[in-house]
Chains A and B, each alone.
Chain A
Amino acid sequence: MESHDVVVIGGGPAGLATAMVLREHGISDVVVLEREPEAGGIPRHCGHQGFGFFKRWGLLNGPALAKKLRTQTGSIDVRTNTTVLEFSLHGSLRVHGASGIVEMGAKKIVLATGTRESSRAARLIGGNRIAGIINTGMLQQQVYLHHAKPFLKPVIIGSEWVSFSALMTCRHAGMKPVALVSEQEKIDAPFYFAAGARLIFGVPVLRRAEVIAIHGTAQVEAIEIEMKGQRRMIECDGVIVSGKFRSEHALYSNGFLARDGHAPVVTEAFRTSKPNIFAVGNVLGRLETAGTCMMEARKLAMIVAGELK
């Protein structure tokens, strides 16, 4: 069985920073497993600014940050198109790569699987099962990676930072959102985001609006909302279901690690309920910038390096 000092699961900012700092501290037998064709994580398809600070790299946009991370980890064993299927009972990993499935052991395992938005289904939003309902993540991939313009006049559901990120992505691709719909009174993103949406982009922000259903025959045609007891239909050609992030928890949600909600329970030293398994970055159940995740990863890497020496 292949075995290493450290196996990092996930090649986003947290995972790559972990590997980088481990190497700085003399731990060279590190493998990063990334299931996507390219490492870099979510920033790869966030074409806007604001990924936080790390090592005086300055202010970068997403793809630039992802690229910088890839360059900096060039000499580290980062395996793309490589999926961890599950933890074996005795703590090794079942890993899928181009050559099939292999077992992989490690003295320390670092979970850096990140987070994703919850789907329309997870939110139990009723209506028709039709094309044109996507997350911000899919929207950004289509726009920034594949240069597509999926809609002309979508509605965005949500009022978190990412909802406004979706708005900016729409504008970037020349789409004009008809409304931003939030079930809450309070907007979770800073107030100037909502003001900016209205003033700069001319997109109304509808608060305390409950989504009743998404309607259409083959493609989204309208969204039905309820505000102050009144139902109304808003014509649109797509729905972007944004936010409500949840940890990418598939690997441990079978009871393998203790968890609090979707996130694994960790100590201050990022240790999970299994002593040799650590977790870092946005898998910990809140949404932080790439910079913050990488700062966390630095702390974690120093702890892990200390234990290995």
Chain B
Amino acid sequence: MERKFDIAIIGGGLVGLAILRRFAMAGLSCVLLEKGVDILSGASKGNSALLHTGFDAPPKSLELQCMLAGRAEYLDIRQKLNLPLLETGAVVVAWTEAELAALPAILAKAQRNGISDATLLSAIALKVREPHLSKAALGAVLVPGEHVIDPWSAPLAYATQALAHGATILRNTEVTAAKHDTKGWTLTHTGGEVSAHVVVNAAGLYGDKIEALARPSSFTIAPRKGQFVVFDKPAAKFARSIILPVPNERTKGVVLFRTIFGNLAIGPTAEETEERENPSTDTAILERLKARAIEMVPALADVDVTAIYAGLRPATEHKDYVIEAAEDLNWITVAGIRSTGLTAALGIAQHVAKLYAKNFGKLPKKLPEPTWTPVPNLAEHSIRPYMKGGEIICHCEWVTKGEIADACSGALAATDISGVKRRTRAMMGRCQGFYCRAQVEALFNEVNHGKP
């Protein structure tokens, strides 16, 4: 007899993991099913890792509401989970007279969204703040609250804390059928079946396909691809703030941003695509991105590119997030979570918990005492393990042997080399594994197969 869970969540992206954490901490029995070999292997894999304020979000939208709540919770819990925060601020830079004329409206919208510390910067004030920015910059709106965070560690921490509260995470587990009757849901997956009272669809890029297992989908996922170019660490000092463009109708545009790992990156593009996984990069577009970065910050011409990647945003035909409960079906849909998802995830989880309480069952008023599960720090501006000794294996990102061993153990251990890479950043630096790949593989094999 299969164990029956209160909640089954389909999709181990950052949204699914945040929801799992919320329900597990409320004392419900939860299971999460992820079709990839690892968590965070779909849309969550390639975002720009920013903690937004919501200054440019559509006013009164559910997206803005979740972003504000999510951001507040992140800032509240981050120290207990050892999650980093790089307080960069952002400047929305005008490069043309037309864009300069648009700045006051951007500022007004920010203030309407409750961001009271946003201000206008003249060309000179901008130059003082960002001395490496091209002379072509005419002025900006400064939003001090826009920050940089770690796109991997944050959701990993949500997952780890959920596990500590008794949740189950099944990787390599694709849901292929869903059956609903009076007793609840039975989900058939590649490794068997699970039963649950309520199902949450957080399947990201496959949201519409999973939705169709339960009911006709009210949305279609239209993946939007974003390509990124990452510059080597010496580039980070050329931009103090996140450099945003003045947005247009369709997209927020290409952003120049520091990463929590000490690099500077540019992206994302916004391209309609059929791809739902493993998105490809395109040399011509990468060259344009690199050229655009150099146009904005000329000193970048002298810095190497260390990485290139592409991510997919699960856009739908709806402008706002699609989050709703189907009362008669014991089903909650969470779809169309695009680039703001990292900021909003914890807020989305709060919203989903409210939908659950309203429609499907009671949640305890007072949560049981939480267990805090700090995750390893990967941020370059705070204490990293190499600073305390230990043998360095990856010489570009200064990853120690101990970190690699840790990544290969525990309930969410890496199951392959790319899992080790994401957990530790080994091989992610300027040499892309030229020096350490063979050694990392040997360590991985030693832990997993008992021999190097």
Contact = CB atoms under 8 A, between A and B. Distances in A.
Q: How large is the interface on B (under 10, 10 to 19, 20 to 34, 35 or more residues)?
A: 35 or more
A129 B283 contact: no
Interface residues of A, number: 47
Contacts of B432: 119-122, 135
B417 A250 contact: no
B303 to A, nearest CB: 8
B434 A122 contact: no
A96 B386 contact: yes
B286 A126 contact: yes
Given A131-B418, A142-B438, A217-B278, A124 B391 contact: no
B392 interface: yes
Contacts of B233: 250
B234 A122 contact: no
Contacts of A98: 389-391
A116 B430 CA distance: 10
A254 B432 CA distance: 20
B396 A250 contact: yes
Given A122-B304, A125-B283, A129-B281, A134 B437 contact: yes
Contacts of B418: 131
Summarize B's interface: helix, strand, loop or mixed. Answer: mixed
A187 B64 CA distance: 57
A131 B237 CA distance: 32
A100 B388 contact: yes
Interface in B430-446: 430-435, 437-438, 441-442
B361 to A, nearest CB: 40
A88 interface: no
Contact of A121 (B306, B310, B389): B306
A253 B338 CA distance: 36
Interface in A226-276: 246, 250, 253-255, 262
A6 B234 CA distance: 27
A65 to B, nearest CB: 19
A253 B231 CA distance: 13
A284 to B, nearest CB: 18
A124 B234 contact: no
A79 B184 CA distance: 64
A101 interface: yes
B308 interface: yes
Nearest to A133: B432
A35 B395 contact: yes
A97 interface: yes
A93 to B, nearest CB: 15
B307 interface: yes
A191 B290 CA distance: 35
B103 interface: no
Interface in A67-123: 81, 83, 85, 96-101, 116-122
Contacts of A250: 232-233, 396, 430
A146 B442 CA distance: 8
B280 A116 contact: no
Contacts of A129: 278, 281, 309-310
A138 B392 contact: no
Given A83-B398, A97-B389, A128 B435 contact: no
Contacts of B303: 253
Contact of B417 (A122, A131, A145, A215): A131
A172 to B, nearest CB: 16
A126 B434 contact: no
Contacts of A59: none
B391 A100 contact: no
B282 interface: yes
Nearest to A144: B438
B281 A145 contact: no
A212 interface: yes
Chain B CB within 10 A, most for which of A85, A122, A246: A122
A136 B452 CA distance: 21
24 contacts: A35-B392, A36-B435, A81-B392, A83-B395, A98-B389, A118-B304, A122-B304, A122-B306, A124-B290, A126-B281, A126-B283, A126-B286, A127-B280, A127-B281, A128-B278, A129-B278, A129-B281, A134-B437, A141-B438, A142-B438, A146-B452, A215-B280, A253-B234, A253-B303
Shortest 7 CB-CB distances between A and B: which pairs? A119-B432, A141-B438, A100-B389, A126-B283, A126-B281, A124-B286, A126-B282
Interface of A: 35-36, 81, 83, 85, 96-101, 116-122, 124-131, 134-135, 137-138, 141-142, 145-146, 148, 211-213, 215, 217-218, 246, 250, 253-255, 262
Given A138-B433, A250-B430, 18 more contacts: A98-B390, A98-B391, A100-B387, A100-B389, A116-B435, A119-B431, A121-B432, A124-B283, A124-B286, A124-B305, A129-B309, A142-B438, A142-B441, A146-B452, A211-B283, A213-B282, A217-B278, A255-B234
